[in-house]
Structure 1
């Protein structure tokens, strides 16, 4: 009876050990195949390295055990110094989510204590770093795009709404100065304020000037010139020959450029005659504006052009791949000539 019981117990024990052996083999196999793992003594000598570590660092035909970790990794001085410092820290506290670079690859790693030694598990994170770089680049581009859009909106507000408010102000001042000489100025000023409000609504949508949308470039520019210059007793001569099917982008920018030039003439020139022209020459649109005012020193204007004004005119011209020629001298008036290529733009819009 007792002999049979002993035999059954012995069979159970053998079965128990067999299951443990299987589990142990499975665990060891798992350790070998997962991320690179290495165990180190206090001098960073390798006590154990799994198959993944050997494969990752091309050590298949030599045993890393007994060799110094840094002899095997061959890191540059900066990376080695950083890893040495972290290994030293890890003897007191667990370190996670660290990284080092070996040649063109990046590795993330964590270090943990195993009795009096250290264990280190690594992972190739090169693709993650590339993705992070792409995300960072995209983020930078988004920020740059946002800043560009803010600048563009600021220019649109200044060049559009700002100029309309300036024109309205001139009408109100003229009416205030002499109601008899300018009986219609007050109502004209109110009309300009209404247009400024409409411009703001346009900015919410497509940033296209409302007068330009309603009248077309030639009529919009004629309206602009005839609204603001007579109030200051400035004679204006205009000739606008806009080519057919001129891309809307060019129309918008040309309108804003001339709007800015007209504002500059009103604010600074003290002129009493102005000439405005638009015409085409071969595959080039020519935009010119000339006044007989006091002029200025171009070099000084370039230095001071960090605000709006000339800088805006230059930027808008460059946006159209055009060139700006500015001719001015103190006491000799000012002449602006813009040359905007049409051929390339026409192809782009087909």
Structure 2
């Protein structure tokens, strides 16, 4: 190779090296930018969800501390009245019955928004109680199974697991026409797996996704992403719906 060819070879080598470095720099910058966008997205979702949970907690507190005691006081006053006729006594009993219904509804609303069992006994027990309440309506039969009633998960994340499954149950009740639904928890090293299955009518997921996912499914996916988890959805018309969700546990 003469001197001229050597110079060309060196120039091409240098040019190729520069292009390679520029390409690597571009790819690294793109990955950093994408990672930053993902982080910002997760922070935005987490802020929105935290705001929602705080509002729910505040509303539940208002129900317990303000509205509930006022109704209880009204109930005591109505009960203390001395009816002067059978008609007045019937009216008193009807009023007390209505107040009892309102107090029961307040308790149910508060429990749906922020279950006491979730704070006291954990997500598995809270979901079993939630399922029992729905089973008592006769609309569907829901079973909740787990190897243990206490999951090895960060306490703050239990509310998100509860909301994910609560949202899935609401979607099933609203759309699937299912008769049965099962929720199963399993723990693996570093992970918690849970599945949600129903025997409903199912749907075309690809078409549903193209036409924009429903709010309920978006909420489920957002919470799974916030927990750095993965979600797999298997459904088709006439097939029912299967959710498989994996999230890191407290050890990971």
Partner of 2:155: 248
Residue in structure 2 matching 1:273, options 162, 172, 180: 180
Matches within 5 A, 1:289-308: 289-308=196-215
1:43-77 CA-to-partner distances (Å, cap 9, x unmatched) read: xxxxxxxxxxxxxxxxxxxxxxxxxxxxxxxxxxx
Structure 2 unpaired stretches of 5+: 1-39, 60-98
1:164-211 CA-to-partner distances (Å, cap 9, x unmatched) read: xxxxxxxxxxxxxxxxxxxxxx978853532434676xxxxxxx6533
Tell me by how many angstroms 1:276 deviates.
1.0
Structure 1 unpaired stretches of 5+: 1-140, 162-185, 201-207
Question: How much is the aligned-residue C-alpha RMSD, in angstroms?
Answer: 3.3
Question: For the Cα contact (< 8 Å) 1:324–1:337, is it kept in 2?
Answer: yes
For 1:188 and 1:276, the matched residues in 2 are separated by 31
Partner of 2:32: none
| SS of corresponding position for 1:193 | helix
Partner of 2:251: 346
| SS of corresponding position for 1:271 | coil
Partner of 2:193: 286
Give the count of matched residue pairs.
170
For 2:196 and 2:230, the matched residues in 1 are separated by 14
Question: For the Cα contact (< 8 Å) 1:293–1:332, is it kept in 2?
Answer: yes
Using structure 2 for the length normalisation, give the TM-score: 0.57
The structure with the greater share of residues assigned to strand is 1
Question: For the Cα contact (< 8 Å) 1:317–1:323, is it kept in 2?
Answer: yes
Partner of 1:194: 107
**Higher RCO, 1 vs 2 (CA within 8 Å, ≥6 residues apart):** 2
Tell me by how many angstroms 1:305 deviates.
4.5
Tell me by how many angstroms 1:157 deviates.
6.5
Partner of 1:228: 134
Tell me by how many angstroms 1:324 deviates.
0.4
Larger CA deviation: 149-158 vs 320-329: 149-158
Q: Does 1:153 align with 2:51?
A: yes
Q: Which of the two has higher C-alpha Rg? A: 1
The structure with the greater share of residues assigned to helix is 2
Using structure 1 for the length normalisation, give the TM-score: 0.42
For 2:168 and 2:219, the matched residues in 1 are separated by 10
